[in-house]
Amino acid sequence: MRVSARSISTVLMGALLLGIVVAAPAGAFGQSDPSTHRSITDTRFDWPTWSSVVRVATLRDHNTRIVVLGTTLLGLAAGLVGTFAYLRRRALMGDALSHATLPGVAAAFLITGEKNLTYLLLGATVTGVLGVLAVLAIRQSSRIREDAAIGIVLSVFFGAGLALMSIVQSTSTGNAAGLNQFIYGKAASMITSDATMIGIVAFVVVTGTILMFKEFRIVCFDQDFAASMGRSVVLIDLLMMGFVVLTTVIGLQAVGLILIVALLIIPAAAARFWTDDLKAMTMFAGTIGAMSGWIGASFSALLPKMPTGAIIVLTAGILFLFSMVFALRRGILPEAVRRIRLRRRIALQHLLRAMAEIEERTGKPTPIDSAELVNMRSWTQRDLRRLTNRAKGAGLLTRKSWTELELTKLGRTHAQRVLRNHRLWETYLIEHADIAPSHVDRDADEIEHVLSEELIDELERALEAGQDIPPSPHDDTPDTARTMP
């Protein structure tokens, strides 16, 4: 596997730091005395005390341990299977699925009359799968597209669920109060048996995803090719959606049906920034999902009034934002740094080429007046000074006097290579691309800096070029109209 240990440790370190940043304000608030009354209503927010934060963070209570373990496993499973749902572009299907579980939960309660989690989740699975089938049926039998079909199924099933919930609330004798937790999620209400069930199902999903890695990979990348080799795409898709269903259903209690889809999408999308390798991506996604679950559950234990789902998803969202900006492989910031470096390299190469062209004209290594250089390109005096300072720092040239510059031996080698690439490319454009000699200079200007070794080799072969620098194919007098790219 080609993911560096460095990038993994970076993401882990970053996540840890984030966790501290997220957790710190809560701790700070906790130290203020909670007994002083600031509000006259009983909706006052109960900030946890510092000692309770420590208790939760160190998993001292049995119940906290159970809850944290359950949601962490859930996040891990969601991250893994979510990677494939994301790559298969089935992530929103999970949203229709999760919303469609509500009528099942309510109906299961109405039928059994008790709040037994197994029955409730069984009901959730039944209507959830019905929801997915409804989306597929609408898409297959009409011209309605998938996004609209998902929207229809999602809202209609959710509406049915809300209606059933109101019946539940009006008929039952108070023991239905906890059903709302399936909408917003409340990890703290988990008991040992719940966590055990979540753990077992999460284990099944994780193991299944790892076993099916090869099949999931090929179906996500190229389903026609998979089918041509005799793999049943339908069966593989069914398994994948089956894992999504399982993850969603066990996530209902902790995260809630509105936000559970986020746990499928966000870790996968965040992981994509860190790596170009699928195995590494699933591992990153699993880690990000697990961390979101852990942190979210900890907060839920500290802030019983806050919906757990929201905290888990916010944590995942922060990790996503961090990945998007800082991820070494595809993050915005490293990308920008690479672009700036390239622009600087190009400017430096322009300077070197200008000096090489002057030396070529004079026929011998000479000190060059910077006034002459300013004429070569549309440099300002300040640009040139900055450039020459950088080149001097890199040991490419020396300053003979206040205005005179001279290439060092290293600088000359560089400069001549840049000039040669430029000329080779110009010649190629004239001979093979039929571009007028008066235009090739500017075209070559843009491309010569990104020529790879392989391309230069090909150029040399195409032109049957020797090691010397070909003469300029166009009038080489200083051109002040030339612009810097």
Partner 1 sequence: MSPSRSPDHRRFEHDQVHHDDDSPLSIHDMTVAYHRKPVLWDIDYAAPQGKLVGIVGPNGAGKSTLIKACLDLVPRASGSVRIYGKSYKEQRRVVGYVPQRESVDWDFPASALDVVTMGRYGRIPWCIPPRKNDKEAALHALNQVGMGDYAFRQISKLSGGQQQRVFLARALVQDARVYFMDEPFAGVDAATEAAIVTLLRELRERGRTVLVVHHDLQTVPEYFDEVLLLNMRIVAAGPTSSVYTEENLQKTYGGRLTLLTEAAEAIARSG
458 lies in the binding site for partner 1 (CB under 8 A): yes
**What letter does residue 46 receive in the DSSP assignment?**
-
Neighbouring residues of 137: CB distance < 8 A, sequence distance ≥ 6:
none
Min CB(228)–partner 1 separation in Å: 4
**DSSP H or E run through 399:** strand 397-399
206 lies in the binding site for partner 1 (CB under 8 A): no
Q: Name which of 143 and 382 has its Cβ closer to partner 1.
A: 143
431 lies in the binding site for partner 1 (CB under 8 A): no
Q: Name which of 152 and 212 has its Cβ closer to partner 1.
A: 212
Binding flags for partner 1, 216-255, as an x/- string (CB under 8 A): -xx-xxx-xxxxxxxx------------------------
Residue type for position 130: L
Q: Name which of 83 and 416 has its Cβ closer to partner 1.
A: 83
Tell me how far apart the alpha carbons of residues 460 and 415 are, in angstroms, rounded to a whole number: 18
Paired tokens of 185: 């999620």
Binding flags for partner 1, 385-404, as an x/- string (CB under 8 A): --------------------
434 lies in the binding site for partner 1 (CB under 8 A): no
Min CB(141)–partner 1 separation in Å: 12
Contact pick of 95, 215, 426, 445 for partner 1 (by CB under 8 A): 215
Min CB(86)–partner 1 separation in Å: 11
Tell me how far apart the alpha carbons of residues 139 and 324 are, in angstroms, rounded to a whole number: 33
Specify whether the CB–CB gap between 456 and 418 falls below 8 A: no
203 lies in the binding site for partner 1 (CB under 8 A): no
Contact pick of 190, 245, 278, 387 for partner 1 (by CB under 8 A): 278
- Residues that bind partner 1 (rule: CB under 8 A) add up to a total of 28
Per residue in 185-207, is it b (16+ CB within 10 Å) or e — as a string?
bbbbebeeebbebbbebbebbbe
What's the order of all strands across the beta sheet hosting 404-407?
368-369, 404-407, 397-399
Tell me how far apart the alpha carbons of residues 275 and 125 are, in angstroms, rounded to a whole number: 34
Q: Name which of 228 and 483 has its Cβ closer to partner 1.
A: 228
Q: 3-class SS at 85?
A: helix
Token pair 């993401």: residue:
11
Min CB(239)–partner 1 separation in Å: 10
Specify whether the CB–CB gap between 291 and 318 falls below 8 A: no
Residues of this chain that interact with partner 1 (CB under 8 A) are 2, 87, 211-215, 217-218, 220-222, 224-231, 272, 275-278, 281, 454, 458
